[in-house]
Amino acid sequence: MFNIEMINQNKLAGQRIGYIGLGNMGLPGARHLLAAGADLVVWNRTRDKGSELLEKGARRADSLRELAEYVKGGIVCLNLTHTHVVREIVLGEAGLAGSLDAEALVIDFGTTSVEATKEFAQQLRWLDAPVSGGQTGAEQASLTIMVGGSEQDFERAKELLHTVGKRVTRMGESGAGQVTKLANQLIVAQTIDAVAQAIRMAERAGVDPSLVREALMGGFAESRILQLHGERMINRSFQPGGRAELQLKDVRLICELAQSIGFSSPTLDNCLRQWELLVDEKGLGQIDHSGLFELYR
């Protein structure tokens, strides 16, 4: 009799997969792929990151070229924070583009510029697959993944994507996944601001914000942000999960996309000002993005 858990553990058995970027999101993702039986090779700027993976059978590449040569025609996953870093890793002098086999597929799990994504997709087989769900979702393999790229490449990557995420949707051709993620971040960035204002307004009016949050959880204002970040705001607990500086980075990408398509929004303009005030002027980029509440204290 087959054990379902054992089947899931081996669903990527023998597949050569490279993983670049072993931060808060990348390390759990790499861990899930290794547990699913992948023949995993990793590379990270900080060499000692991911040592636990090596103990469990992963290989460490000393260079991007070494990683590309080992993966051959397999899959390379990127989990990087900024577009310029992705560009360097992919198109830099020692980047992947000069070493990967023509059949190799690159999956970008980060939030990257739409324009740059389309550029990368012209030079390599590429899926933009940004995620939502934060570090908790990464650790629990419950991420929502929004994918852009060809149907063929999407089908090829499905098993891998479902290993690290729960809801996986192909949104269209290259760039469509990033557009969807930016739509997500537009909602997230402005909702954090709205929840921060609501909680501070309740406090200033002399009403227990914990009771306000509890009452609102049963109505139309209910959201994951009210549930999780609302509690952080009430407790003044801003240890970073998703850093404020990365939220600002995403808001700037939203504004870049909006400008390129002729979309204007006064609330988006105000949202950008708030995140710039928190990160650039107050220097609080390293706290959790729920720390936008600090602007209203």
Q: How far is CA 137 from the centre of its chain?
A: 10
pLDDT at res. 280: 97
Rounded to a whole number of angstroms, the distance between the first and last alpha carbons of the chain is 60
Quick one: 180-296 is in which CATH superfamily?
N-(1-d-carboxylethyl)-l-norvaline Dehydrogenase; domain 2 (1.10.1040.10)
Pick the CATH number of 4-173 from 3.90.1300.10, 3.60.20.10, 3.40.50.300, 3.40.50.720: 3.40.50.720
Q: Give the list of residues 6+ apart from residue 113 with CB closer than 8 angstroms, or none.
A: 83, 178, 253, 256
What are residue 19's phi and psi, to 5 degrees?
-135, 125
CA distances (Å), origin 192, targets 148, 199, 291: 27, 11, 9
| 221 three-state secondary structure | coil
Dihedral sign, Cα of residue 114, residue 117, residue 119, residue 125 = negative
Q: How far apart are CA 54 and CA 62, in angstroms?
A: 13
Tell me whether strands 125-128 and 131-132 are parallel, antiparallel or unpaired. unpaired
By the 10 Å C-beta count (0-12 exposed, 13-18 middle, 19+ buried), 173 is classed as: middle
Among 219, 249, 241, 252, CA closest to 291: 241
pLDDT at res. 49: 84
pLDDT at res. 3: 41
Structure tokens given for 167: 């809801």
Q: Where are the domains of the chain?
A: 4-173, 180-296
Structure tokens given for 79: 């989990």
Structure tokens given for 69: 């040569």
**Mean pLDDT per 10-residue segment, the chain (297 residues):** 47 94 95 96 89 94 96 96 96 92 97 97 97 92 97 97 97 98 97 98 98 96 95 96 94 97 96 98 97 95
- The pTM for the full model equals 0.91
Q: State the catalytic residues.
A: 181
